[in-house]
A and B are shown apart, each in its own frame.
Chain A
Amino acid sequence: MTASWEELVSTALVGADRRAVPPESLLEQAAEQVVRMRAGRRPGRSRPPAPAAAETLPPVPGAAADRLARMLAGEQSRLLTEWLETAAARRVRVPAGMLPGLLDLGARDRSIRACLGTVTGTRGRWLAGLNPAWSYLLDEPAHLPPDEVWELGTSGDRRAWLAATRARDPAAARELLEGGWSAETPEDRAAFVALLADRLSMDDEPFLEAALDDRRREVRQAAADLLTRLPGSRLALRMTGRAARLVRRDGRGLRAEPPKACDSTMERDGVRARPPAGTAQRGWWLQQVVAHTPLSFWAAHLGSPAGDVVRLPLGDWAREVRMGWIRAAILQRDPAWARALFAVEPLTDLLAVLPPEEQSNRAADLVRRQPVDGQMIMMLGGVARPWGPRLTDAVLKKIAETVEAQPWNAGELIRLAGERLDPSAYARAEGVPELTATLRFRFEMIKELS
C-alpha cells in the first residue's frame, strides 16, 4: 500500500489504529516520503526586487566605517549623531551592511533622519522601498537632478530645493509655491511656509496673510509665526492693537488685563482658544497675544528699552506676559530681547537666538557664577557644538572644581562636555579620564572622516 503525503498526515492525526493501518507501516512510508520530499525539492520561482541604482557619493574611509560599526555595537553610542552629521556634511556614504542597523535607529530617532538621507546613499532608499518601517527615509533629500526635483522629488528633495531657491531668489521661491499651492499636502504646505523664514520681507505678506485661511492648523500657525516678524504686516497691526489694550504702563510698573474672550479673528491670527491642561484660559490668551506681537512695538508703547521692560514690576499675570515675551523673542529671533530675557531667566531656547560666539560667552559667565545643577545642564545642552574657548575654559575649570568637591555631581557635566567641547581639547582634560577618553574618541573620529 502506498499513500500520498496528505493521506499519511491525515491518518497520523486521527490515529493509524482507527484507519486499521499498522503504525510501523505508516511511519515507514512517512520516512520514505519525507526523505523523497527533502531530496526532491525543486527550486521555486521568484522575481527578485529590481536592483538598486548606482551610488553617487564616495564610500566613507575604512577606518571611519570600522569605528561606526563599533559605535553601532554600543561603544560611545552617544556620539553617533555627531558621526552622522560629520559624514553627511562631508557627503560620504556608509557601507551597505550597516544600513539595516542605522535605518532601525532612524525609525526610532527623528533627529538623525536628515543625515541618514545623505549617508545611506541610493542603497538606503532602495531598502526603504522594501521595508515600510524605513519609508521615512523617502521624505529626506535624495539629490535628484535639478530640473526634476520640484516635479518628481521626495518631500525632502523639494524642501531642500525650495530652501536653496529661497536663498538665491526669494520672490522666485514664493512664486514656485503659489503655482501649485492647492495641490500640495498639508504637511508640505506647513513645511514650505516655515521655509519662507529665510529672507522674509513684506513682499511675502499677501501670500502669508492668505495662508491664515488654510484648512490645516499647522499651516495657519506657521504663517502667523512669520507675520509677527513683519511689524508692517496686517497681522502685526491687529496684534499690536490687541496688545496695546491688554498691557499698559501703570506708574512705575506695568498692568496687564487678559482678554475676556477669544474671538474668531484672534483665532485666525494664530491664538489658540483651548489652553493646555492646567493653564487658565484667559492667561493663555494673554500669553499668546504677547507672543504674536512684534517686539519692536513695546519700547515705544511702554516708554523703556527691552532691558528695562523685562525688569519692570508686573502685578497679576506677570508670568503670562513674561512667557509671551520669551516665545516672541524665540519666534522673532530677536537678539536684543533674548539677551534681556536671558539675564532674568537663563533659558537655553533664548540662548539659541544669540550669535554662536555670544551664546558661548554668556553660557561661560553663567557656568563661572553658578554651581552645577539641572538648570545649568539644560542651558548648556542648548549651546551648539563646538563650544568656544571661553566656555571651554569655564567648563573645564568647573569640572575640575566639582570633581574635587562634589564628585557625585560631576557626571552629567562631564558627559555633556565630552560631547560638545572642541575635541582637540582632550589633552587639557587630563585629570578626568572619562572626559579625555570621549574627547580623544571624537578627535580621532573627526580626523578619520576628513
Chain B
Amino acid sequence: MRRNPPHRSVPRRLRGQLSEAVASLRRVMERRSREPLSADAPDSMTSAGGGAHAAARRTHAEQRERRVAAGLSELERWLADQVGQGIAQARQTGPADWDDLARRLVDAQAPGVAGTVTRLSRVLTAEEWPGLLLGEYALLHLLAVAHRRAAALPEPLRRTVRARVGFPVTRESVLATPAVRDHWDVVGRRDEEQDRLVARRAWLAGRTTGRLAMVLSFSPAGQPIEPFPPPGTTIDADLAFYPGASPLRALVAERRGLVDAGPPPGTKVSQVPALIAEVLAADPWTDSWPLVLDGAVPCPDCIADDEGNALPLHPSAGVPWRLLAVSGGRPVTVAAEWTPRGLRPLATWDEEGRVAPL
C-alpha cells in the first residue's frame, strides 16, 4: 500500500511522459534473470574487416567486455550488500569504501561508473543524505542490470548504457554520423578542474531545431583552454551528437561563423516538468540538462514565473545575486542547468537583450 505516492500531484498532462519513463525502466529490469554471463557473450563491436589486425582488435574488445561485465557484477553484489546491511554508517565509512570501489571499477575499465561512485560523497553534505544516497545506489544498480541485460534493450538505450558505463566512443565515429546544422545559441559555459584537467562545458540551444547540446573539451590545468564562444553569442554550426537515447553531448563538426541573433527563445517555467519527464523517459540516468527559460522571475531560492510557478535552485548554488541584480524582480530570459536537486543558473539576458554570464 502506497502511503505517500511521490507522483500523487503529477498533473494529467504529465502522466504520459511519466509512464513512458517508468516503462523504459521496466524494459531494463523485466525478466530479472540472473543467468551467469557466458564468457563468449556476443560482442556488439562487430568487425567487418578480417586479418590479424582486426582479430587482435576483436580480442582486445572482447577482453574489455569481460572485464567490464565482471566489474559490474561485483558492483551489483556490493550494492546489494550495502542496502542489505544498512547504509546508516555511510557518512563514516562511505568515502573510503567508494574510493576503493571506484579504483576497482577503473581497473575493470568502467570509468563512467567509477566516476559516478567517486562523486557519491557529494550527497553526504545534504541533510536528506540517506534518500539521496539510496537514489544514487538504485540508479547504479539499474545501470549494472541494464548492462547485463543490454542485448534486450532498444539500440539507443543500449548506447546510453554503454556510454554511462564508460565504453569509449571515438571522435571519428561521432563525426561520421549526420550532423545537425542550426544557429546555435551559446547559453552557458562552465570550467571545472578535476585530476589536473580542466573540463570545459559549453551548452548550446538550436534556434530552428529546438535541440540542446553540450560540447565538452579538456585541457591540462594551468594551460590555456581551447577557446569557445562566450554565452550570448550565436554560431552557425554543424553539430555531431554522441549516440544515445537522449543525445546531448556533441562535437562541433563545422563552424560556419557568428550570427547576430539576440537573446535565445525559451520555454515557460510551467513547461519544464514535462520536458524533463521526456528526457528522463529516454535516459533515466540523466543528471544534467540545459534549459532556456523565458519570462522567468529569479527569486533568492528559485526561478518563478508570473503565475507563481517556481523551480527550486540547487541548494549549493547559493543566492543568485547577479541574476537577481539583472532581473530587478522582473521577468527575464534565464539559461540554467537542470539537475535532480535543482537548477544552476548559467546566464541571463536583461530587458535590453544584453547577456550576463552567471
Q: Which residues of A contact B (CB under 8 A)?
A: 2-9, 11-18, 23-24, 26-28, 30-52, 95-97, 99-100, 123, 126-127, 130-131
Contacts and interface: CB of A to CB of B under 8 A. Distances in A.
A14 B86 contact: yes
Nearest to A34: B135
B21 A26 contact: no
Contacts of A3: 2
A35 B22 contact: yes
A425 B284 CA distance: 66
B216 interface: no
Contacts of A99: 321, 325
Residue from B81, B298, B321 whose CB has the most chain A CB atoms within 10 Å: B321
B319 A15 contact: no
Residue from A2, A11, A49 whose CB has the most chain B CB atoms within 10 Å: A49
A33 to B, nearest CB: 6
B18 A39 contact: yes
Interface of B: 1-7, 9-11, 14, 17-18, 21-22, 25, 29, 32, 76, 79-88, 130-131, 134-135, 137-139, 141-142, 145, 269-270, 272-273, 276-277, 280-281, 284, 297-302, 304, 308-312, 319, 321-322, 324-326, 328-330, 340, 350, 354, 356
Given A51-B330, A96-B326, A13 B139 contact: no
Contacts of B273: 39-43
A40 B310 contact: no
Contact of B319 (A34, A52, A131): A131
A51 B306 CA distance: 12
Contacts of B9: 40, 42
Contact of B21 (A30, A39, A51): A39
A7 B326 CA distance: 44
B138 A27 contact: yes
Given A17-B84, A30-B134, A48-B329, 15 more contacts: A6-B4, A14-B88, A15-B84, A27-B142, A33-B6, A35-B21, A36-B7, A38-B340, A39-B17, A47-B308, A48-B297, A51-B328, A51-B329, A97-B322, A100-B322
A35 B284 contact: yes
Nearest to A7: B3
B340 A23 contact: no
Contacts of A30: 134-135, 137-138
Nearest to A97: B356
Nearest 5 pairs of A and B residues by beta carbon: A15-B86, A46-B310, A30-B138, A51-B329, A52-B328
B139 A43 contact: no
B87 A31 contact: no
Given A43-B309, A49-B299, A23 B86 contact: no
Contact of B277 (A5, A40, A126): A40
Contacts of B79: 23, 27
Contacts of A123: 325, 328
A39 B5 contact: no
B83 A27 contact: yes
Contacts of A5: 4, 6, 131
Nearest to A54: B328
A100 B326 CA distance: 10
B329 A126 contact: yes
Contacts of A14: 86, 88
Given A43-B270, A130-B324, A27 B141 contact: yes
17 contacts: A4-B3, A5-B4, A9-B130, A16-B84, A18-B86, A24-B141, A32-B22, A38-B340, A39-B276, A40-B9, A40-B10, A42-B9, A49-B324, A52-B329, A95-B354, A97-B326, A99-B321
